[in-house]
Amino acid sequence: MHSHRSVVLASRNPGKLKEFREMMAGLDVDIVPLPELAIPEVEESEDSFAANAVLKARHAAQHAGLPAIADDSGLEVDVLGGEPGVRSARYAGQCASDEDNLRLLLYRIACTGAVRPAARFQCAMAFVSDADDPAPVIARGTWEGFVVMEPRGRNGFGYDPVFFVPTHGCTSAELPPEVKNRISHRARALMELRRELSAMLRPRSAATA
């Protein structure tokens, strides 16, 4: 039985779940990961991160009967016209692995002849109180950097091994998780979302004090 502050996190990505739980620590919310619930997949059919995040949040809320948070995020590379963008998780195909996606990304960049092309991680996060919420809370975060052609680092997931963070002189996958979770696109979106939801999710003791 979940508490009245239970919120479904609409993600099956274990790396994302781990990051999200670490970043949500201290907030009086019981995060219910999607794999705990028998919720079918939803096709990410929209053409923007925000629209996909809302789509996933509504879908999870409808099936779980709980409020839901979803995020949609991805990498945009300028020399590839913003690819892989909203298709980041399935760049090399619907069932592609992180390695498949990374290999395709580096191949396509190599074909352009670009060296260290500018890139950014984008994240849009959506909260819905229920499936029919007329005013979803949407937060966004951007993380600027560039792509290196040799993967480096063992932390993170997805494109982290090739996303170079100029402010820290290393790839995202070389950052300690606690550092990444302060400065990443997802961290920035979540900080904005937490500000938006702070009154709604404030601990009961604080709200009545």
Instruction: Name 140's bridge partners.
Output: 124
Helix H, strand E, coil C: the string for the chain is: CCCCCEEEECCCCHHHHHHHHHHHCCCCCEEEEHHHCCCCCCCCCCCCHHHHHHHHHHHHHHHHCCCEEEEEEEEEEHHHCCCEHHHHHHCCCCCCCHHHHHHHHHHHHHHHCCCCCEEEEEEEEEEECCCCCCCCEEEEEEEEEEECCCCCCCCCCCCHHHEEECCCCEEHHHCCHHHHHHHCHHHHHHHHHHHHHCCCCCCHHHHHC
Closest to 105 (Cα-Cα) out of 53, 154, 163: 163
What number of other Cβ atoms are within 10 A of residue 122's Cβ?
Answer: 23
Find the catalytic residue in 28, 30, 71, 72.
72
Task: Look up 72 and say whether it is catalytic.
Answer: yes
Task: List the catalytic residues.
Answer: 72
